[in-house]
Amino acid sequence: GESVGLHLPTLSVQEGDNSIINCAYSNSASDYFIWYKQESGKGPQFIIDIRSNMDKRQGQRVTVLLNKTVKHLSLQIAATQPGDSAVYFCAENLRGGADGLTFGKGTHLIIQP
């Protein structure tokens, strides 16, 4: 089965608020994680990545937090905008495994005006 999953299939937030999308992974040997954004009819768009030797990484309006103790990953989006509406996937790579990414099922982020 999949080792990466998301807590909520849908997350609704007000425009301008901060969004937090969570992801739980079960494989403690995973050493690399990525967040992707996928809009309808398009391929996944790279947002931010983090390696297992880090706890936090920041990008433009986004922050990824990695808690290896509880095998939890989160994506924080600051000042959510209508263009942030999409399905968000976390993905992991198992250290020493085939060099592919294992994706969860995704969280649909809906922005309320």
Binding site for other proteins (CB under 8 A): 2, 4, 32, 34, 36, 42-46, 49, 89, 91, 93, 97-106
CA atoms of 66 and 57, how far apart (whole Å): 9
Q: Quick one: 34 or 75, whose CB is closer to other proteins? A: 34
Name 95's Cβ contacts closer than 8 Å, sequence gap at least 6: 29, 30, 31, 32, 52
Q: Quick one: 84 or 104, whose CB is closer to other proteins? A: 104
Q: Quick one: 64 or 91, whose CB is closer to other proteins? A: 91
Q: Which of 21, 56, 53, 52 is nearest to 36 (CA)?
A: 21
The CB-of-67 to other proteins minimum distance in angstroms stands at: 21
